[in-house]
Amino acid sequence: MIYLVTGGAGFIGANFLNYFVPKQKEDIFINIDNLSYSGNLLNVQNIEKYENYFFRNVDIQDYDGLKHVFNEWNPDVIIHFAAESHVDRSILSPLHFMKTNILGTFNLLELAKHFWKNKDRCLFHHVSTDEVYGSLKESGYFTETTPYHPTSPYSASKASSDHLVRAYCHTYDLPVTISNCSNNYGPYQFPEKLIPMTLSNFLNGKSVPIYGDGQNVRDWLYVEDHCQAIWHIIHNSEIGETYNIGGNNELTNLEVVHVLADILAAFTGVDPLKYLEQISFVKDRPGHDYRYAIDASKIKNILGWSPAESIQSGMKKTVKWYLDHQDWMEKVSSDEYQSWLKLNYSDREVSNG
């Protein structure tokens, strides 16, 4: 099988490739990514040596650039991770989200439609978010039939891309599947998101900004569990199906930060209260969704997937990874390194082949 993985230099895409490239030696994996601020080749350097792995620096907004990749490989499966993914950035500069998340997805769908006219076994898997459903109150869960009610520019752009994917399945018989997943955590997450930002700031003595009163709830899933769920869907799902993926691990943001302080303190020997003193409550995010929680019974019952990690085991692995990779955190956050990457990789392709 030839897998085209978009956004494979980012957090979840890189975890997916790092897990499956060494394991699936008979398969070929093409990573296409434009190395935006959250995508970094450091995230996939452990698999660069593998002969079944190739990287192409392509922006999914660039139809011709994508077409070149399709001409070269005509993939069997597209796993579409590439996106602008941070809600706060979507509030500040929504246009990037519309261009990458909507138009980029549209370009991929158009090319898949064109190149797969006479192909038997092919699949477009769209990686989406539970944020398309909007916000829950104290009770209830998102199911696959919950009506869409996106509330941020990010979630609205992801909802649009979900609708496009379904429309291509309905209108053109394009074989698609979709997954809507809850908040992920684990290695290689860009340190602007709550968990890596908190760990980085704890370790560097900086303040940890908590929006509002810290009582917003997210359902946390260890990233490798998400990758396994996607693999299950790609290989075992009926065409046209949607699956919600979640960890059944609801925590308030304040609870998350407390768990991180305790686990980090156990590794460093620092008093956890010292870390907790770094918390600072700041002005709330505009339109901040109160609660997300997933009912993952469909993927469990139909495909037999359930998460392997508990919040304690997943957080422990995560804290240890960030402690052992403080150089990674510094490098990916540095402007200098970001410009170096752009300079070196913007006009040429990188691969082992």
Contact residues for ligand NAD, defined by CB under 6 A: 7, 9-13, 33-36, 38-39, 59-61, 81-85, 100, 104, 127-129, 158, 181, 183-184, 190
Which distant-in-sequence residues (6+ apart) come within 8 Å of 131 by Cβ? 87, 150, 151, 152, 154, 155, 158, 289, 292
Residue 280 sits at the vertex; the CA angle it makes with 275 and 282, to the nearest 5 degrees, is 155
Q: Which is nearer to ligand TYD, 87 or 230 (CB)?
A: 87
CB nearer ligand TYD, residue 214 or residue 272: 214
User: Over the Cα atoms of the chain, what is R_g?
Assistant: 20
Residue 269 beta carbon to ligand NAD: minimum distance, rounded to whole angstroms: 31
Cβ-based nearer residue to ligand TYD, 31 or 198: 198
Residue of 253, 204, 237, 189 lying closest to 43 (CA atoms): 189
Q: Residue 353: CA atoms inside 13 Å, Cβ hemisphere, count?
A: 13
CB of 192 to ligand NAD, least distance (A): 9
Site for ligand TYD in 276-305 (CB under 6 A): 285
Residue 131 a catalytic site member: yes
Block residue for tokens 């799902």: 237
Rounded to the nearest whole angstrom, what is the least distance from the CB of residue 286 to ligand TYD in the complex? 12
Using DSSP's 3-state secondary structure scheme, residue 30 falls into strand
Please say which residue, 61 or 278, places its beta carbon nearer to ligand NAD: 61
Choose the catalytic residue: 130, 219, 225, 289: 130
Contact indicator for 254, 229 with CB cutoff of 8 Å: no
Instruction: Give the residue among 30, 33, 36 at the shortest CA–CA distance from 351.
Output: 30
Instruction: Tell me: does residue 52 bind ligand TYD (CB under 6 A).
Output: no
Return the number of the residue (218 or 232) whose C-beta is nearest ligand TYD.
218
Are residues 292 and 142 in contact, defined by beta-carbon separation less than 8 angstroms? yes
- Sorted by sequence, the CB contacts under 8 Å of residue 30 that are 6+ apart come out as 2, 3, 4, 5, 54, 55, 56, 69, 73, 75
Contact mark string toward ligand TYD, 240..269, x via CB under 6 A? -------------x----------------
CA dist 79 and 118 (Å) reads 20
Q: Considering the complex, state which of residue 59 and residue 309 has its C-beta at the smaller distance from ligand NAD.
A: 59
CB of 152 to ligand NAD, least distance (A): 12
In the DSSP assignment, the letter for residue 27 is S
197 binds, among ligand NAD, ligand TYD, none (CB under 5 to 8 A by kind): ligand TYD
Question: Has 154 been annotated as catalytic?
Answer: yes
Q: Starting at the edge strand that comes first in sequence, how are the strands of the sheet with 77-80 ordered?
A: 53-57, 28-33, 2-6, 77-80, 123-129, 176-181, 242-245
Alpha helices (H) in 184-310, listed in sequence order: 194-203, 223-236, 253-268, 272-276, 297-303
Cβ 337 to ligand NAD shortest distance, Å: 14
CB of 138 to ligand TYD, least distance (A): 15
Q: Tell me which of ligand TYD, ligand NAD, none is bound by residue 187, counting a contact when its beta carbon lies within the kind-specific cut-off of 5 to 8 angstroms.
A: none
The listed partner (ligand NAD, ligand TYD, none) that binds 34, CB under 5 to 8 Å by sort, is ligand NAD
Tell me the per-residue interface mask from 195 to 224 with ligand TYD, x by CB under 6 A, - otherwise: --x-----------xxx----x-x------
> Minimum distance from CB of 262 to ligand NAD (Å)?
22
**Annotated catalytic residue, options 131, 224, 225, 250:** 131
CB of 181 closer than 8 Å to CB of 221? yes
The contacts of residue 311 (CB under 8 Å, 6+ apart) are 220, 247, 249, 251, 259
Interface residue with ligand TYD among 80, 126, 193, 232 (CB under 6 A) is 193
Interface positions with ligand TYD (CB under 6 A)? 87, 183, 193-194, 197, 209-211, 216, 218, 253, 285
Positions marked active-site: 130-131, 154
